[in-house]
Structure 1
Amino acid sequence: MSSKVIDHFPDIDDFEELLEDARMAAGSDWEETFVADMKAKYERYGEDMFISNAQLDKLNKIVNED
Structure 2
Amino acid sequence: MKDLRFHDLRHEATSRLFENTDLDFMEVKGITGHKSLQMLSRYSHLRAHKLADRLAGGKR
Larger C-alpha radius of gyration, 1 or 2? 2
TM over 0.5: no
Query: Which structure ranks higher in relative contact order (CA pairs < 8 Å, sequence separation ≥ 6)?
Result: 1
The normalised TM-score by structure 2 is: 0.37
In proportion to residue count, which structure has more helix?
1
